[in-house]
Amino acid sequence: MNAVPQRGANATPGTRLASLQQWVDEVAALTRPDRVVWCDGSDAEADTLQEAMMADGTLLPLNQDTHPGCVLHRSHPDDVARVEHLTFVCHERREDSGPNNHWMAPAEAHAKIDALFEGCMEGRTLYVVPYCMGPIDSPLARCGVEITDSPYVVANMRLMTRMGAAALARIEREGDEGKPLVRGLHSTGELDPDRRFIMHFPEELVIKSYGSGYGGNALLGKKCHALRIASHQARQEGWLAEHMLIVGIENPQGEVHYVAAAFPSACGKTNLAMLIPPESYREQGWKVWTVGDDICWMHPGEDGRLWAINPEAGFFGVAPGTSEKSNPNALHTIGRDTIFTNVATTDDGQPWWEGLDKRVPAKDWQGRDFDPARGPAAHPNSRFTVSAKQCPTFSAHAEDPQGVPISAIVFGGRRSNLVPLVFEARDWAHGVLVGAAMGSETTAAATGAVGVMRRDPMAMKPFCGYGFADYFAHWLSFDRPGAKLPKVFHVNWFRKDADGRFMWPGFGDNLRVLEWIIGRVSGEAAATESRIGHLPTFEAIRRDGLDIEDGTMRELLRVDEPGWQAEAVEVAAYLDELGVPAESPLRASLGAMA
C-alpha cells in the first residue's frame, strides 16, 4: 500500500527542505506505512491523536474531576525501562566510543537495525516529528526530527520538546544555512526484547531505535539526542551537554544564583530542582526557581561564564516516592494535563504509586486487581510526562534565549559513609576529578542488593556519547585564560549513623547546604582546608529549627583520612580502566587527595 502523506489536519504535506524530505521518503520506502503525517504540534492535532489512542486503548482515562486532562498508559510488561545492554554508540573507531559504551561498527549497526525496520510500519501511520531542544529562538538550542510509528511517542514529544510548526520553520531556516540536524528513526516494532536495539551514530547525528516504546528508548529527543548525541556535538563545538538539573536560588536581597547539579538515580534530583525552602527561610524571603530537572546544556559566554539552558520543555519523572512530603511542587505540577505511565489506580480512577499516600489501590500497573503478593502496585520505574510550565516554581528565565549564568556546579551521590555532607573542590581540575570519581550505593528496589558502590562519572555513565577519558579532557579544556568558571562542590544527603539512620534531614533543608555553597561563590561563607577540599566550618551551616546535635554535625563534616586514602586508590584504578592518561591534571588532583 502506498503511503499517503499528510501534515496536521489540512496543511500542505512535507517540507521545502529537500534533504529532509528525501530522508522521510527513504524511510517511508523502507518501513512502508499506510500514511505519513507531518506533525504541526497544534492543539487540534493533539486532541485528534488522544481521541484515537483512547479509542484503541493506548491511553485510558483517569478521574477527570480530580485529575483533569490526565490519562494513563500501560506498557508491555517487557518494555518498562532503558535497555543499556542493547544501547550502542557507533563511532567509526571503537576507541572513540570508549570502555563506557557498547560499540558496533556503523556499517554493521545500520545493516542490523535496518533489517528490522524493513516493512515494520505496514498497517501503521508514520509520524514526522520536528522538534527543538531548548527555547525555540535560542542560539544554544539544537533541532532534530524524529520519525516514529507511535502516537504515544508523539504525545510525549509534544510535552517534552518544542515540537511542531515552529520547530520545522527553524529546521528549514538552518538547513538553508547548512547547519546540522539530528535525525532519529523509531518504531515500536513487535515489542520483542530479542528484536530491540537503540543505536547512536554520533558522527552522522543519527539515532535508530527499534522494538521499544519506553520513553528513554523511544523519546529520541531526550537521552538519545540531548545527551548521547549532544555530548558529541558539544565536544566538537566547545560546550557541555550534561545530565544535570538547573535550579535558581534567590536570597532575601533578591539576588539569584543558578546551580547545575548532577546526581545518579534515587538521589533526589527532581526534589532538589523543585525544592521548597524551610519555613524560617521562606519567612526571610528565600525562594527557589526551577529551570530544569534532568538535562543542562552549558555554553561559554562572552563574559567568560557558563550560560545554561534546559533543552527540555517538560518533565519525564519517576512517580514512586513523589508525595506531599518529598516533593509537593511535583505533585502540584502533575495534577492536570499529564500522561501517567505504568502507575496503579484507585477504585475511583485516580493515579497511585508507592509513597504517595496510605490508600490501597484497586488496579496495579498492568491493570490487574491489586495483589501485594505480586509486587508493587505501580511499577518502580513508572513515570509522569508533563509540561514544565505547570510547575509552581517554574523560572521566568527558563525560556531566556541566552540561558542563565551558572554560579556553581554540584555533584552528589548516595553514600552511607565516608563522604561528608558537602565540600568544595580546590580548583577546576579538582572539580572535574570530583565529578569523575562520583559514585552511589545502589538500593534494593533498583538492583536487589543494598550498598553496592558504583562509579557514575558526572551521572553520565549511561549517557556519554564518547569515551570518558576524552570527556574528562573536554571538561578540563574550559579552564583557559578569561574563563570565569563556576565553583565545583560535592554533596551527600545520605550519610547514616551507627544505627543505620540518616543523619541529615534532606528535602527542603538541603537549602541550608546550598546557602553555604552560594556563600562560597560570593566569598562570604567560612571554610576549612582538608585533603579532599574546602569544608564548612562547624557553624557555617545554619541549624536553626533543626534537631541535629553537635556531635552529629561534626560527623557529617568529618574527613576520614584512612578512608579517603583507600578511596584515592580505588579512584586511581577506575581512571586506569577508563584510559585516563598519566599526564592528565586529574592525576595530580588525585595525588593531593591521597
Q: Is 216 annotated as a binding residue?
A: yes
Q: What is the pLDDT of residues 566-590, one digit of tens each?
A: 999 999 999 999 999 999 999 999 9
Q: List beta partners, residue 250.
A: 256, 287
pLDDT band at 5 (very low <50, low <70, confident <90, very high): low
Region 521-535: mean pLDDT is 97
Angstrom CA distances, 103 to 86, 95, 460, stand at 10, 9, 17
CA 219 to chain centroid, in Å, comes to 12
The percent of residues above 90 in pLDDT, for the chain, comes to 93
Q: Give the CA dihedral 503, 507, 508, 510, nearest 10 degrees.
A: 60
DSSP states of 87-139: EEE--SSHHHH-TTSB---HHHHHHHHHHHHTTTTTTSEEEEEEEEES-TT-T
Domain ranges of the chain: 4-38+83-237, 242-310+398-593, 314-387
pLDDT of residue 266: 76
Residue 10 reports pLDDT greater than 90: no
Q: List beta partners, residue 127.
A: 37, 148
Number of H helices, E strands in the chain: 18, 29
- Helix 468-476 and helix 230-237: axis angle, to 10°? 40
pLDDT of residue 2: 45
Domain 242-310+398-593 has CATH 3.90.228.20: yes
Q: Is 269 annotated as a binding residue?
A: yes
Residue 290 reports pLDDT greater than 90: yes
Q: Is 156 annotated as a binding residue?
A: no
Task: Please choose, from the candidates 434, 438, 439, 440, the residue with its C-alpha nearest in 3D space to the C-alpha of residue 475.
Answer: 434
Residue 145 reports pLDDT greater than 80: yes
Question: How many whole angstroms separate alpha carbon 186 and alpha carbon 126?
Answer: 10
Taking a C-beta distance cutoff of 8 angstroms, is the pair 128, 17 a contact? Answer: no
Question: Measured over all CA atoms, what is the biggest interatomic distance in the chain, rounded to whole angstroms?
Answer: 75
Side-chain-side CA neighbours of residue 10 (13 Å): 0
Task: Calculate the average pLDDT of the chain.
Answer: 95
Q: Is 183 annotated as a binding residue?
A: no
Residue 445 reports pLDDT greater than 90: no
Region 384-405: mean pLDDT is 98
DSSP state of 363: B
Three-class HEC string of 44-77:
HHHHHHHHHHHHHCCCEECCCCCCCCCEEECCCC
The percent of residues above 70 in pLDDT, for the chain, comes to 96
Give the burial class of 1: count Cβ atoms within 10 A of its Cβ; 0-12 exposed, 13-18 middle, 19 or more buried. exposed
Region 301-325: mean pLDDT is 96
pLDDT band at 6 (very low <50, low <70, confident <90, very high): low
Task: Please choose, from the candidates 233, 242, 237, 278, the residue with its C-alpha nearest in 3D space to the C-alpha of residue 260.
Answer: 242
- What is the fold, at CATH topology level, of the domain defined by 314-387? Phosphoenolpyruvate Carboxykinase; domain 2 (2.170.8)
Q: Is 388 annotated as a binding residue?
A: no
Q: Is 215 annotated as a binding residue?
A: yes
Q: Considering 70, 267, 296, 391, which one is annotated as catalytic? A: 267
Residue 1 reports pLDDT greater than 50: no
CATH number corresponding to 4-38+83-237: 3.40.449.10
267 catalytic? Reply is yes
Buried b or exposed e, range 161-195, using 16+ CB within 10 angstroms: bbbbbbbbebbeeebeeeeebbbbbbbbbebeeee
Region 521-538: mean pLDDT is 97
Buried b or exposed e, range 241-271, using 16+ CB within 10 angstroms: bbbbbbbbbbbeeeebbbbbbbbbebbbbbb
Q: Is 46 annotated as a binding residue?
A: no
Q: What is the pLDDT of residues 108-139, one digit of tens each?
A: 999 999 999 999 999 999 999 999 999 999 99
Question: How many whole angstroms separate alpha carbon 117 and alpha carbon 110?
Answer: 10
pLDDT of residue 443: 58
pLDDT of residue 469: 98
Q: What is the pLDDT of residues 350-376, one digit of tens each?
A: 999 999 999 999 999 999 999 999 999
Region 523-552: mean pLDDT is 96
